[in-house]
Amino acid sequence: MACALLVTGFGVSKIDIHKVDWANVSVPGSVCGATHLIRLHKGRAVVDSRRWPSVPRVTVDAGWNPVVYGNLDGVGQDETALVVGCNNGGGTADGFLAYAQVIFTTAGKSLRVIGVVTPKQPRKANRLPTLVTVKIRRGKVIAREAWYGPNDGTCCPSGRTTTVWTYAHGALRAGAPRITQAPSR
């Protein structure tokens, strides 16, 4: 999954990933079911989505958690993870449809998406989307998920899963998810 965003600037030979305006980048449309890149404006966008037929216009929000940095490839500068969420625009936890972390690197004057880290919690438990946070380490992205059990309120997912995504040959691949805490019963 490669996508590039040209960052303009007179005389810029490469991007300092720590100085990118993350509220105004493009993320892959696949994150929220769009067929094209999603251009964020102040951390938001509204897109036509094919993923959720009952919600044809999906609101995309990004960056409410701090951007995560780490040297994934072990070469040069850091890579970055940007949190992205898709929702129905209703403004409540029940309105969220999906969460992801988009992993970026630089390629000269452009940002390039290495991959999209998505939740891997048990499907049968998925009544609300899983929250996912990441740490970037050399050769891997460690994704920690908080997911909902059948008796959890929308405030408080009680299930926990960790999935290690390995980085090789320019791509991320999810390992087997490991449940670290079953949801409350």
pLDDT in tens, 147-158: 888 888 888 888
- DSSP class of 63: -
pLDDT confidence band for 124 (50 / 70 / 90): low
- Token digits of residue 116: 């999209």
* pLDDT (average), residues 120-134: 71
Lowest mean pLDDT among 37-51, 103-117, 142-156: 142-156
Where would I find the beta strands (DSSP E) of the chain? 4-6, 26-27, 38-39, 44-48, 57-62, 68-70, 79-87, 96-107, 110-117, 131-137, 140-147, 159-168, 171-174, 178-181
How distant, in Å, are the alpha carbons of 55, 116, 133, 139, 177 from that of 124? 22, 22, 21, 30, 14
pTM, 2 dp: 0.88
Q: What is the pLDDT of residue 43?
A: 96
Cβ–Cβ under 8 Å, residues 131 and 16? no
Q: What is the pLDDT of residues 50-74, one digit of tens each?
A: 999 899 899 999 988 999 999 999 9
Please, what is the average pLDDT of the chain? 87
Q: How many CA atoms lie within 13 A of 101 on its CB side?
A: 28
Given a contact cutoff of 8 angstroms between Cβ atoms, the answer to whether 131 and 164 are in contact is no
